[in-house]
Amino acid sequence: MSRPVELVPLNCIQCSLPIPAAVNEVAWLCPTCGTSLALTEAGDLIPCEMRFSANLPPNSKGRPFWVTEGTVKIFRQSYNLIGNSDQEALQFWSQARRFFIPAYECGLEEMLTIGTRWLADPPPLIEGPKTDFLPITHSAADVQAFAEFLILAVEAARKDKVKEIRFELELQPPTLWILP
């Protein structure tokens, strides 16, 4: 027998007032007390760290991103022996990288464009005042898979005939940032 669908009201863990949640949203800022909250896979509300960029234009909605530091150990082999894409990859991934994973609903092309550009040239993370932002529809549980996809996208964009790519990715716990 299947269980009936159960609707559970979301109440702030700080002030106990209802959180106005829309379908598919997974994180919020309590409109009453300002507590940052996220929904777990089990359906529980937990506190989450949410920061706001000082670079947000006035009267505009920010875009939420999961931001995390990651280290990548990569093995890459190309068919062509001319060129140095394999060395470029080793050099690029030799230092820790900051991953920016959209936490809002966006297309694959936008995610790839922003994610790969900001891997190479991350925006500054300077905290500013709280502001309005787009709905958060991707949870922290999505970060690992999106980061792995970005690594493959960066490597696939290199100008060579890649034969094999293997990598290990270690990520720090992500933080929600509201960015321009």
Model confidence, pTM:
0.90
Structure tokens at 80: 């062509």
pLDDT digits (tens, 9 = 90+) for 15-41: 999 998 888 999 999 999 999 999 988
Residues pairing with 168 in the sheet: 73
Per-domain residue ranges for the chain? Answer: 1-48, 49-179
Q: Are 24 and 137 in contact (CB under 8 A)?
A: yes
Gap between the Cα atoms of 150 and 126, Å rounded: 24
Look at residue 148 in the predicted model and tell me its pLDDT.
97
pLDDT digits (tens, 9 = 90+) for 57-97: 888 899 999 999 999 999 988 877 666 777 888 899 999 99
